């Protein structure tokens, strides 16, 4: 059983879409996605600098569009889809396309709204996120509570992402929990916390008119790592997760329980592949960062690498 994982915000880098535009049909797809999301994906994915694409309004559509492009290219290269799909944070909007819940253009419309709403919510108070790597989990959680920070992402592999006010994140970095490293993330707000409550309302309004299909592949939710059977529930979870913690650790536990034989992370890949190498030790993993990685991913999907 091969799982495809769709990454979340912070995985984008300047120019990362450029090599994908060399594939037939990608420019046309990105033009459609740009219109739906109200973001110039080609310009931002090829020309904009790191600070520009850090903007939540731009970053989220870029990431989802990249995963959709990579997913389609992989299916064409391998001749089949994966056996299951999951997405980390905004990556769930790519994951539900891969399981047939909604169409790609609908997903891009929603991610455009999501990105703008979360950016607006973040603008009210200066906040951010930092990865806390290593250490005792209980000690980390106690320290976050002391600083009034929220554990926004339980990523597994010994990583928790703290979110909240910038002074508190600064204090965490200055006096880290014993045995941990604190790494500020390239995001512009305290996502997956109560700071995002206004964005939840905006996204809930946006999905009200969407008629989803039920997933036609195994779909895990990063809400709690469970399998989603209903398209309506998939949309509910996507709305709720804007202000709720991402439980990627529970997703990986569910992958292990399901007996997966490999994981493929779609573009812009890297972070989830790294977590899988620590949290799913011994499981073959391919990170599809560019079209050059499609052959290795197709081999894994078709069993050759396994």
Gap between the Cα atoms of 57 and 120, Å rounded: 9
> Which residues are marked as active site?
89, 192
User: How much is the pLDDT for 11?
Assistant: 83
Q: How many domains does the chain have?
A: 2
Please give the residue that has the higher pLDDT: either 10 or 279. 279
Assigned domain for 59 exists: yes
Phi/psi for 133 (5° steps) reads: -110, 130
pLDDT of residue 186: 76
Q: Are 16 and 89 in contact (CB under 8 A)?
A: no
| Model confidence pLDDT, tens digit, residues 145-171 | 999 999 999 999 889 999 999 999 999
Is residue 98 situated within a structural domain? yes
Reported as a single tens digit per residue, the pLDDT across 189-206 is 999 999 999 999 999 999
Exposed / middle / buried, residue 146 (Cβ in 10 Å: 0-12, 13-18, 19+): exposed
* Residues facing residue 164 across a β-bridge: 128
Residues 42-74 as b or e (16 or more Cβ within 10 Å = b): bebbbebeeeebbbbbbbbbbbbbbbbbbbbbb
Work out the pLDDT band at 9, boundaries 50, 70, 90: confident
Helix (H) or strand (E) holding 132: strand 127-134
pLDDT for residue 261 is more than 90:
yes
Same domain assignment for residues 110 and 143: no
Domain harbouring 173, CATH code: 3.30.70.250
CATH code at 220? 3.40.366.10
Are 231 and 218 part of one and the same domain? yes
pTM for the whole structure: 0.94
SS3 content of the chain, % helix, strand, coil (to 5): 50, 15, 35
Co-location of 239 and 294 in the same domain: yes
% of the chain at pLDDT higher than 90:
93
Domain of residue 163: give its range.
Answer: 127-184
* pLDDT tens-digit readout, 107-131: 999 999 999 999 999 999 899 999 9
Scan for tokens 């973040």, then name that residue. Answer: 122
What average pLDDT does the chain have? 95
Q: Please report the pLDDT score of residue 195 as a whole number.
A: 95
pLDDT band at 305 (very low <50, low <70, confident <90, very high): very low
Q: Per-residue pLDDT for 306 more than 80?
A: no
Question: Two tokens at 213?
Answer: 């299909």
| Residue range 9-21: mean pLDDT, rounded | 93
pLDDT of residue 304: 57
Same domain as 97, residue 217: yes
Q: How far apart are CA 238 and CA 216, in angstroms?
A: 18
Distance between CA 140 and CA 162 in Å, rounded?
9
Q: Are both 119 and 131 inside the same structural domain? A: no
Whether residue 21 is predicted with pLDDT greater than 70 in this model: the reply is yes
């Amino acid at each position: 059983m091969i799982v495809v994982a769709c990454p979340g915000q912070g995985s984008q880098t300047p120019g990362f879409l450029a090599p994908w535009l060399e594939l037939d049909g990608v420019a046309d797809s990105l033009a459609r996605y740009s219109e739906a999301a109200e973001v110039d994906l080609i310009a931002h994915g090829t020309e904009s600098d790191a600070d520009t694409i850090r903007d939540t309004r731009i970053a989220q559509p870029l990431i989802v569009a990249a995963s959709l492009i990579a997913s389609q290219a992989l299916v064409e290269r391998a001749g089949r889809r994966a056996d299951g799909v999951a997405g980390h944070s905004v990556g769930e909007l790519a994951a539900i396309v891969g399981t047939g819940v909604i169409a790609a253009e609908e997903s891009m419309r929603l991610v455009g709204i999501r990105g703008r709403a979360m950016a607006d919510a973040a603008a009210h108070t200066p906040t951010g996120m930092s990865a806390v790597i290593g250490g005792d989990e209980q000690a980390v959680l106690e320290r976050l509570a002391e600083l009034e920070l929220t554990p926004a992402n339980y990523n597994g592999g010994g990583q928790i992402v703290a979110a909240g006010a910038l002074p508190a994140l600064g204090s965490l970095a200055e006096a880290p929990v014993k045995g941990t490293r604190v790494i500020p993330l390239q995001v512009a707000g305290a996502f997956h916390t109560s700071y995002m409550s206004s964005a939840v309302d905006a996204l809930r309004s946006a999905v009200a008119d969407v008629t989803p299909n039920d997933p036609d592949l195994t779909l895990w939710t990063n809400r709690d790592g469970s399998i989603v059977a209903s398209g309506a529930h998939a949309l509910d979870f996507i709305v709720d997760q804007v202000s709720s913690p991402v439980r990627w650790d529970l997703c990986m536990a569910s992958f292990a329980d399901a007996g997966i034989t490999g994981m493929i992370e779609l573009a812009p890949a890297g972070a989830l592949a790294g977590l899988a190498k620590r949290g799913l030790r011994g499981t073959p993993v391919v990170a599809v960062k560019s079209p050059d990685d499609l052959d290795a991913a197709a081999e894994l999907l078709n069993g050759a690498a396994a």
